[in-house]
Amino acid sequence: MPVNYNFISWNVNGLRAAMKKGFLDLLLEQKFDVVCVQETKASPEKLPREVKNIPGYYNYFVSAERSGYSGVGMFSKQKPLKVETGMGIEEFDREGRFLRVDYENFTLMNIYFPNGKASQERLEYKMAFYDAFLDYANVLRAEGKKLVICGDVNTAHREIDLARPKENETTSGFLPEERAWMDKFLNAGYLDTFRLFNSEGGNYSWWSLRTRARERNVGWRLDYFFVSENLRENVKTAPIYPEITGSDHCPVGLELEF
């Protein structure tokens, strides 16, 4: 009998704010097996009780040392075999960007990759994080693990992944070195699951709040589900959910069958 896992990943731009915009209803109505969130902007002790007591879900959170910044979380119907809250590198782990859970059939990593727009220093930090993550993932691959990787990657890979590529060639999120890393990552044996099913432009997961960009669909595809090559045959669907509001990002999904 096949076993299906339905995942969703969403940069909620503040989990407490998302709670006020129907986040709990999303979980309970859609019945996802695993819900990954990024940019929670709250330490676990500051989250409302109801978000930590959702019927039928185990929950795990990682927060940044800096208050109200970064953070990732996960809600899972199945209790993982193992949970890790960092890559073991202090300069990255202190920002609360990484959560790994191991299940019987796969290992899931929920990641809020750094944004490089603020300064050259932050761009360098972002690129160093990218490289450290790829090294970490490759070690797991070498151990024979099957990997699912989701989150806000903060880079649009190709020109079809943002509405205005020419105007953003010198903007972090679409810089040549960021896009080159995406090529390097995919060439190392990882799959962009959305592109297994859809090769068209106009599919985005983030829109600026300042310019009513979402109404005009002037967006970027910054949020992804990747799997290692050894999970290719297990991927059934990988949708984007632009109709789900409540953040400047929309959720992305993945269905696996074992």
Whether 152 sits among the annotated catalytic residues: the reply is: yes
69 classed as catalytic: no
How is residue 104 annotated by DSSP? Answer: S
- Is 11 known to sit in a ligand binding site? yes
What DSSP character marks residue 249? B
Q: With CA atoms as reference, report the closest residue to 153 among 176, 126, 186.
A: 126
E strand intervals along 12-57: 34-38
Structure tokens at 115: 């944004």
Cβ–Cβ < 8 Å for 163, 242? no
Catalytic-role residue among 60, 112, 190, 224: 112
Which is the catalytic residue, given 125, 136, 157, 249?
A: 249
- Does residue 154 have a known ligand-binding role? yes
Which token pair is 89? 């590198």
Sign of the Cα pseudo-torsion (117, 118, 124, 129, in order): negative
- Is 39 labeled as ligand-binding? yes
- Out of 60, 130, 152, 161, the active site residue is 152
Is residue 33 part of an annotated ligand binding site?
no
Residue 257 Cα distances to 33, 58, 245, angstroms: 12, 21, 28
DSSP code of residue 37: E
**Does the active-site annotation cover 249?**
yes
Beta bridge partners of 192: 226
Return d(Cα 171, Cα 228) in angstroms, integer: 29
Binding residues: 11, 39, 152, 154, 248-249
Instruction: Show binding-site residues for Mg(2+).
Output: 11, 39, 152, 154, 248-249
Query: Which residues are known catalytic residues?
Result: 112, 152, 249
